[in-house]
Amino acid sequence: DAGVTQSPTHLIKTRGQHVTLRCSPISGHKSVSWYQQVLGQGPQFIFQYYEKEERGRGNFPDRFSARQFPNYSSELNVNALLLGDSALYLCASSGTGWFSNQPQHFGDGTRLSIL
């Protein structure tokens, strides 16, 4: 079975531009989460969606937004890019139920570089 897939794998943008990152969860998974990982640190939680509704949000500015589609895939959008947004953006999917201890499974991320 395919794991979590993210596209693109690498992306270069300039300050002030907008970016859209995409994620396809593992088949049957209904929850998708997004994380940002800057160099040398652990991943930081950005958003979680379940059944197309936002269920959690980390400490990120409103420039970051996301949505989940009926097929459970998801997009992360970042507006007005800053140099500090350069990072590895990770998507994770989990579970068939909301109240579940099932683990999250991660894709290999999109590496975003801001010039």
Partner 1 sequence: DAKTTQPPSMDCAEGRAANLPCNHSTISGNEYVYWYRQIHSQGPQYIIHGLKNNETNEMASLIITEDRKSSTLILPHATLRDTAVYYCIVRLSNSGYALNFGKGTSLLVTP
- Residues lying near partner 1 in the complex (CB under 8 A) are found at 4, 31, 33, 35, 41-45, 48, 55-56, 58, 90, 92, 94, 99-101, 103-109
> CA-to-CA distance for 49 and 72, rounded, in angstroms?
9
Q: How far is the CB of 35 from partner 1 (least distance, A)?
A: 8
Nearer to partner 1, 15 or 27 (CB): 27
Nearer to partner 1, 13 or 111 (CB): 111
Shortest distance in whole angstroms from residue 53 CB to partner 1: 12
Minimum CB separation of residue 5 from partner 1 in Å reads 11
Question: Which amino acid would we find at residue 58?
Answer: G
Q: Which is nearer to partner 1, 38 or 80 (CB)?
A: 38
Contacting residues for 17 by C-beta, under 8 A, at least 6 apart: 81
- How long is the chain? 115
The torsion of the CA quartet 74, 92, 17, 113, rounded to 10 degrees, works out to -150
Least Cα distance to 31 among 88, 108, 110, 91 occurs for 91
Please, which residue, 44 or 65, has the CB nearer to partner 1?
44
CB of 54 to partner 1, least distance (A): 10
Side chain identity at residue 95, one-letter code: G
